[in-house]
Each structure stands twice: as structure tokens, then as C-alpha cells.
Amino acid sequence: MQLRNLDHLTPTPDPLRKRYPAVDSVGQGPMASTTRGIIVLGMHRAGTSAITKILMSLGFELPGEPVPASADNPKGYWEPREIVEIHDAFLHAIGRSWSDPRPLPPELFRGVAAAEARGRLREVVERVVLPRNRWVVKDPRMCRLIPLWEEVLPAQTLDVHFLHLLRSPLSVASSLAARDGFSRQKSCLLWLRHCLEAEAATRGKDRTWLHFEQLTRSSQSLLNQRFRIATGSPRLPVKRLRGAVEDTLDLSLVHHEHEIDGTLSDLRTYPWLARAYRALDALSTGREADGRARLDELGSEIRNADALLVGELGAWEAEHHGERYYRLYKEIEQYHRSVEAQRREIEALRTEVGAMRGAFDVERTQLAEMHQELTQQRSAQPRRALPEPPQEAAENQGQRIVESLAEQALRFDAVGQNIVSISESTFAIRELITERLDKRHLTLLEKSLEVIARLESQWQSVRDELATVTNERDAVRGERDAALEARDRAAEERDRMIRAREQACVHQQQALAELERTRRELHQLIHRKSWQLTAPLRWLYGVLKSLGQRS
């Protein structure tokens, strides 16, 4: 993908506020006295995770535990788990979800569910946000839920900056289609809701606009300027920012990208999207009045259209329930995979414990054999009698035998002592290992057996379902094999007919060639002079033959 320069998006001269004279941890001076927080706003799949990770590399902290990474976002979502759960709970309480493109009337933010959500958010802010001097919060749901936060963030003690991230609605729609199977119309309508509601909710507030494409395609000066505005740092190290961008972005994970000019061209079939994208681009380039006027006009048209879409609410709700069932199905599949992994781990532990017990039994047997052999050697040694020489000539030989037996006895004693020492060491090691086994492995084995016992009942239903699916699969395979056999027979019959047709064609060609040859010979015969000279004879022969037939 060719990367082009986006310097034409450069705004008016650097609008850094004079109220940020101090330099924070990303600069080269003392820490600013005011708490600085950044709220990243952008549609799902718009690159907000990458922006948040870059800000974290520049010294901003994520308040609380992040949402775990997944296959859809292997580098992490970088969203505070508690805040995301509060947002989801509020949307569920009002009968909505993040993928519901219906409007959110103001009265939804004045009910009991909104009050409960604000209370939970206020507790999270006091516990994990306020203790941090530099923090960043990101959740695409916040684009539509800013009214929940307006009474939560204390303006007296928090300096909050809103960083809006723009990405082509077509790129977002392609990404959502690949991940969630959304239609392009639904994804584009979601993009429109998120961007317009986020812009309207942050008017008059400290905010910055950034195109996702600017992370990889714009000059370093423009990128540095945008992040200095967002972080409130007059002297942001260029190398550190570029290093954070390069370490965070992985172009191999950036799919379905569109050029900015190409986006405006492709959006001709979606006038609302084209107008919204142009207006937001105007805001990002410093044309605040022009962008707001366009968005106000577009927002009025959309609100009028919303009144005509009341009859379609049932369809949206049905689609929402279908998506919820799909997510539950995926969660059940993940649970089954987790249970299977735990089962394999338990089986491995049982095998390991069995192998250790077998090794202990072998050592116990070997030790018993060594003790038995030592006992036999000790009991046999005293019964050995010295040979008595029959005569005086054998006296020297007897003496040597006695000395040899004495040396052997000493060696046997030494061997016995070594065996005893080895036995004692072996017993000590065995007791130590047994003690450790009893304290660790046996406890783990007991827990594993308990887990196995609990899982057996749960897995019985899984086995039954697997057997049913296997039977259905076998039946389908049988039908498929029968169909394949019928298809093969039909193919063979077709091939036979084709071969017969080819042979008939060959015979026909041969007959036509023979007919053509006969015609040429006849033509040559007719035009010969002898044929012409014998014409009267042929006529006379015909007349005589006719007279003969009459008589």
C-alpha cells in the first residue's frame, strides 16, 4: 500500500494553550501541577487502541485493569475493563447495545439506569482516575455516552482533553464486516452516530482531531504538533513520539484502508456520509465554523429522518438479539475449549503422578533386593570354615587362604557399610520426595480428581451431543457418498454418450468425405468427352429397354 503525504491537513499555526507552561513526563521539564486526562473518542475499528497505546508509551496511564486482548485485536484493546462493563450494563438496561444504530434520546440519560451508571462511574473515577496525574481512557461507546460523564468528571481538579480519531467509514465498515458480519449500511450508520454525537457532545471543550491515516502518512512535524496539543506538552521529544508510533503500529494488521480523497469519491452513493466526512475534515483542519454549520444542517436532517424510522425499530431489535445469540454461541464454544484444555491438563497430571509412583515402587523393590543380598552375604560369612591342610607341606598354602579370606571379609564389611549408607541415603531421599509429593502432588491430584468428577457430569451432555452430531455427520456422509456415486455413474454415462457421439461424428465425417469423393468422380465422368460421345447410345439403350419392358 503506497503511503502518501497528508500535509494538506495541517491546521493553522500551533494552538498550544499558554495555560500549560509546565512540561510533563513526556517532555524535559517538571511535571505539570494540574491533572491531565485524555479521553480518546472514535468509532469501533477506527484505530483508537493504537492511539491509546501510543499515549501510554508517552507517560499516560490506563486507569484500572485493561480488557484482555483477543484474536480480533491481538495487541490489546487498552480499554479499562470496569468502565466498559459499566457502559455495557447501562446500554443493556435501556435496551440497547454498542451495535444498535438507533438514536439515544436525552431522556434515556435522565432515568434510573443513568443515575446508577453515573454513581458507579463516579466511584471508579475517585478510586483509579483521580490518584493518577496523567491518565487516558478509551472506549468507543463513550462517543455516544458523553452525557453520562458530564456530571462525573470534576472540572475543578481534572484537566480533560478529548482526542477525536477519524477513519474512513468504508474502512470501518469493511473491518466490521470481517469481524462481526455487519452489513455496510449498518456499519456506516453506526459510524455516523458515533462521530456526530461525539462532536456535538464535545463542542466548547478542549479537543483535537486526528486522522488515522496521519499516523503513517503525514510528516513528523504535523504528527508531533497534534500530540503536543493532546498531551499539553510544549516540548514533546520527536524521536520518542516516532519510536512510540513505530513500536505500536503494525501495518500488517491494518486492513481495508482507503485514501482520504478516495473515500470522498467512494462516498458519492452515501450523501450523508460524504457530507459528514467533509465537515469533520473541516474541523480537523481548523475550519471550525464551516464544519459546525455543515454538521448542524446534517444533524437536523438526520433527526427528521429518525422520526420516519420508528417502524424499523423491531427489525433493529431482532438483529440485536441475533447478534447477542451469536456472541453467546461463541462464548459457549470458548468455554468448551477451555474445559477440554483443563481435562487434558488433568490427564497429564494423573499420568505424571502415576509415573512418579511407579518410579518409587521400582526404587523400593531395588532397595529390598539390596537388603536381602546384604543379609545373605553377612549370614554366609561366619559359616565359612578354614581348610585344614592334611600335611605340613600345605601349611603355607592354608595361611595364605586364611589371609585371603580375611581380606575378603574386610572387603565384604566395607561393601556392607556402603550399602547401608546408600540405603539410608535412599530412604532419606524417598521420605523427602514422598513428603513433597504428599504436600504438593497428592494435593494437586486430589483436587484434580475432584475437578474430573465435576466435569464428568458436565461432559456427559457434551459426549451425547457429540454422538448425535457424529451420527448426523455419518448420515450426511452416507447421503453425500450416495450422491457422489450417482454423480459418478451419470458422469460415466455422459462420457459414454460423448464417446458414441464422437464416433458417430467420425463416421459422419468419413461418409461426407466418401460422398464428396464420389461427387468429384461423377463430375469428372460427366465432363469427359467419351461420356458426351456416348450420350446417343445411352439414349437408344434407354428407349430399347423401355420397349422391351412394354412387350
Q: Which residue pairs, CB below 8 angstroms and at least 24 apart, start in 435-439?
A: 437/353, 437/356
Grid cell at residue 217: 502518512
Instruction: Pick the closest to residue 136 from 63, 43, 227, 29 (CA basis).
Output: 63
Between CA 158 and CA 167, with CA 164 as vertex, the angle to 5 degrees is 160
Residue 82's pLDDT is 95
Please give the model's pTM, rounded to 2 decimal places. Answer: 0.53
| Euclidean distance between CA atoms 496 and 439, whole angstroms | 77
> Left if phi > 0, otherwise alpha if psi is -120 to 50, otherwise beta: which for 232?
left
Residue type, 77: Y
Beta bridge partners of 125: none
| Residue 135 backbone dihedrals phi, psi, to 5 degrees | -135, 155
Between CA 164 and CA 170, with CA 168 as vertex, the angle to 5 degrees is 140
Instruction: Pick the closest to residue 233 from 329, 167, 134 (CA basis).
Output: 134
Give me the half-sphere count of Cα atoms (radius 13 Å) on the Cβ side of residue 13: 0
182-212: burial string, b at 16+ Cβ within 10 Å, e else: beeebbbbbbbbbbbbbbebbeeebbbbbbb
| Euclidean distance between CA atoms 83 and 67, whole angstroms | 10
Direct distance between the N- and C-terminal alpha carbons of the chain, in angstroms, rounded to an integer = 103
| Residue 435 buriedness (CB in 10 A; 0-12 / 13-18 / 19+) | exposed
The conformation of residue 80, written as its DSSP 8-state character, comes to B
Between CA 33 and CA 43, with CA 39 as vertex, the angle to 5 degrees is 165
Residue 192's pLDDT is 93
Residues 6+ apart with CB under 8 A from 199: 164, 280, 283, 295
| Euclidean distance between CA atoms 235 and 24, whole angstroms | 9
Taking only the tens of pLDDT, the chain with its 551 residues reads 333 333 333 333 333 333 333 333 344 333 344 578 999 999 998 889 989 998 988 889 999 899 988 877 778 889 999 999 999 999 999 988 998 888 999 999 999 999 999 999 999 999 999 889 899 999 999 999 999 998 888 665 578 999 999 998 988 988 888 888 888 888 999 999 999 999 999 998 999 998 887 776 655 667 777 888 888 777 776 677 777 777 777 655 454 455 545 556 667 778 898 899 999 988 988 888 999 999 999 988 988 888 776 555 556 656 666 666 666 667 777 767 777 777 787 777 777 767 777 776 776 677 677 767 767 766 765 544 444 444 444 455 555 555 555 565 565 556 556 565 665 666 666 566 555 555 555 565 566 666 666 666 676 767 777 777 777 777 778 888 888 888 888 888 888 999 999 998 999 999 999 999 988 888 888 888 887 788 888 888 888 888 888 76
Residue type, 390: P
Cα dihedral across residues 339, 176, 101, 281: positive or negative = positive
Pick the CATH number of 32-308 from 3.30.980, 3.40.50, 3.30.420, 3.30.70: 3.40.50
217 and 3 Cβ atoms separated by less than 8 Å: yes
What is the DSSP annotation of 81-113? HHHHHHHHHHHHHTT--TT--S---GGGGGSHH
Residue 181's pLDDT is 81
| Euclidean distance between CA atoms 186 and 316, whole angstroms | 10
Domain definitions of the chain by residue range: 32-308, 354-494
Q: Where are the beta strands (DSSP E) in 67-215?
A: 134-138, 158-166, 207-211
349 and 445 Cβ atoms separated by less than 8 Å: yes
Grid cell at residue 344: 487434558
191 and 173 Cβ atoms separated by less than 8 Å: yes
Residue 451's pLDDT is 65
